[in-house]
Structure 1
Amino acid sequence: MAWLWLIAGGLFEVGFTTCLRNVEGFRHLGWTLGFLASVSLSMLLLEHAARSIPMGTAYAVWTGIGALGTVLIGIVWYGEPATPVRLLLILGAVACIAGLKLLGSGA
């Protein structure tokens, strides 16, 4: 169950980075509230997951999910470049996250 909390926390990290891009100096109330809710939930879920998953692993996976999701949001919604090298590096990060999951706490 801890891995589900961790994945959800990583997805909320994508939410807060996406909101952060749109808060306009925290003047846009809707995006600001979305940011505050997402960052709070993300941190709460990370803390909850880290009770069962080693903190280093939990943090690496959490930030990896957030970084990958944020890159994909940037490509899909904001027209950021999707060059072959960039996509290859994203796949490498996904492989690292999957490796941490497969190793679990026995590593």
Structure 2
Amino acid sequence: MSWILLVGAGIFEMLCVTMMNQFQKERHFKWILFIAVGFTISFSMLSLAMNTIPMGTAYAVWTGIGAVGGAIVGMLFYGESKDAKRIFFIALILSAAVGLKLIG
């Protein structure tokens, strides 16, 4: 259950970063509200996951999901570079997070 919470926390973190990008574009108050609620959910889920997952592992996986997810969203929806080198390093981040799960 802790790993499910951790993945959920990472997904909310990724969504919040995307909402921050939307706020930069639109400057609507609703995005600030969505960001605050999203990060509250993300941090709460991360905190619960850390009851059984070591802090270093949980934080690395959480930030990895956010970084990879944010990069993928940027490539798919915001026209960011899809360079092969960039995709390779994104895959390295993802594989490191999976590796932490396998050894933890």
TM-score, L = length of structure 1: 0.92
- The alignment-based identity, stated in percent, is 39
> Which has the higher mean CA deviation after the structures are superposed, 15-24 or 79-88?
15-24
**Equivalent position of 1:33 in the other structure:** 33
The 1:56/1:85 distance shift into structure 2, 3 A limit, reads: same
**Equivalent position of 1:60 in the other structure:** 60
**Equivalent position of 2:74 in the other structure:** 74
TM-score, L = length of structure 2: 0.95
Structure 1 stretches of at least 4 aligned residues deviating more than 3 Å after TM superposition: 24-27
Paired positions, count: 104
Residues 1-107 of structure 1: matches in 2 within 5 Å?
A: 1-24=1-24, 27-104=27-104
The 1:34/1:3 distance shift into structure 2, 3 A limit, reads: same
Contact 1:26–1:32 under 8 Å retained in 2: no
CA distance in 2, matches of 1:26, 1:46: 29
Structure 2: stretches of 5+ with no match in the other structure? none
CA distance in 2, matches of 1:23, 1:36: 12
